[in-house]
Amino acid sequence: MEEQNDYAVRLIYNGKYKKAIKILLEIEKSKPNLSNTAVNLGTAYELLGQNENAKFWIEKGLKINPSVHRGSEWIHLNILKAKLANADSKWIRENPILELDFGSGYFPKLSHDSNLKWDIDSIDRLAYQAKLQLRERRKFIFGHDLTMARLAYESANVEVLRGQMYEAKYRNGFKNEIADKLATVAVEHGLEKGKIEEKRLKMLLSDSFIYRFLLVIWDFISKPFR
């Protein structure tokens, strides 16, 4: 059974989605309710453009095992919800893929009503799950893609917050290379920029320590979220 599943995954990577689906449905029929089968079906259907079917199988996989794919499939589900809503940039700002509001300043800051517990373990887990989903999607998605751009952009914000928790220097405007690379990925995939995104990207993509430090001071003076 595991060999069949692995073969189906290889077919997905090779663009043979219909053949992969056929094999995965056979696995589901002979041994139902395997979370890996369900999420692989979700991926194959999404790549075929059948987002409703994809959502069904991702939801099923999460119901069977919320920890499937290192607990990252909730992000996949949010991406599918955005696709099914024919999301534009306004919709996706109001319904962020990572379910977090990063504030309106130059540097990200979680709002006071955020559901994310403010500790290193939570930030690490979120950053890791987002990285998994980004890594998988980059194998299949090229060029402009709204959900890919937003996931990379939101992940960049998470990495800045993560850096601030680990390293005091990042609070003072130093560059965070991981966040900067993610911001570049977001731009490459066609991130649609409103006022907040423009501000945030100025910070993320700047090579000037002095400029970043001034932005830290500006955020402190303006106190977003307060």
Q: What contacts 44, CB < 8 A, 6 or more positions away? A: 8, 12, 17, 20, 21, 24
Residues 41 and 96 in one domain: no
Residue 22 φ/ψ, nearest 5 degrees: -60, -45
Residues 27 and 43 in one domain: yes
For the chain, the first-to-last Cα distance in angstroms comes to 55
Q: Report residue 226's pLDDT band, with 50, 70 and 90 as the boundaries.
A: very low
**Domain count of the fold of the chain:** 2
The confidence score (pLDDT) of residue 216 equals 86
| pLDDT cut 70: percent of the chain above it | 92
The confidence score (pLDDT) of residue 147 equals 96
* End position of a domain, from candidates 70, 87, 116: 70
Residues 190 and 104 in one domain: yes
Amino acid at 15: G
Checking if the pLDDT of 112 tops 60, the result is: no
CATH classification at residue 52: 1.25.40.10
pLDDT tens digits, 25-58: 999 999 999 999 999 999 999 999 999 999 999 9
SS3 39: helix
Residues 34 and 82 in one domain: no
Residues 215 and 138 in one domain: yes
Residues 36 and 124 in one domain: no
Between CA 12 and CA 14 the distance in angstroms is 5
* End position of a domain, from candidates 70, 93, 124: 70
Amino acid at 57: W
Q: Which domain holds residue 51?
A: 2-70
